[in-house]
Amino acid sequence: MNNGRLSFWGKAKGFLGNPVDTFNAVGPEALGSALKFLAIWAAVYAVLQTIMFYTVTKGVFQTLWDLLRLGTSVVSGFNPVAFGLLSLAAVFGGLFISGSWAHIFVRAFGGRKGYENTIKAFAYGNTPALMFGWIPFVGGLFSIWALVLDIIGVRQLHQISTGRAVGAVLVSIAVLAVIVVLIVLGVVLTAVLHATA
């Protein structure tokens, strides 16, 4: 701790092992602190994700592509710098898109502490996914802990019940999933109708 504020490593450790107290400690901080924390982990994630992709994962995709005889792989000519920058952009784009979408439901479930607190909850909630999400084949499991942290963050920073926080986050995901499925079905049905016409 430093002047009552958590250090960078104190936050990282806290969000992994003691998220309730850590969210309570970062509650008074400005959104900029959360975005700076996210930016550092996003940069680390982008570098490690790129290294892992080009040393491990890319070979697996290429082998599968070749086994399925799908022709030239899109992955084979992809630039590592572009891949890293896209990973970085995806973190920030994902934060503001998912955070903004979820905030609609946080408000509907009683959260009244402002948009910034929802974005802070999601920025800090991404900690485990950014710290460990780059690990091939198991990294995605850390997204589950990130989802739990999103819920804890919404609960703590908006000072609502656990049930309301769970409802806000999970309903936002469910509604988005339904919208995506309907869009995909619409595209597939349109393609099928055009193909049979």
Q: Provide the residue ranges of all domains of the chain, joining segments of one domain with +.
A: 8-196
Distance between CA atoms of residues 111 and 104, nearest Å: 9
Helix locations, the chain, DSSP H: 8-17, 19-26, 31-52, 58-67, 80-108, 115-125, 127-132, 142-158, 162-196
State the average pLDDT for the chain: 91
Q: What is the pLDDT of residues 173-193, one digit of tens each?
A: 999 999 999 999 999 999 999
Q: What is the pLDDT of residues 26-39, one digit of tens each?
A: 999 999 999 999 99
pLDDT for res 2: 45
pLDDT for res 68: 76
Distance between CA atoms of residues 10 and 4, nearest Å: 11
Phi, psi of 9 (to 5 degrees): -70, -30
pTM of the model: 0.86
Stretch 125-132: mean pLDDT, rounded? 97
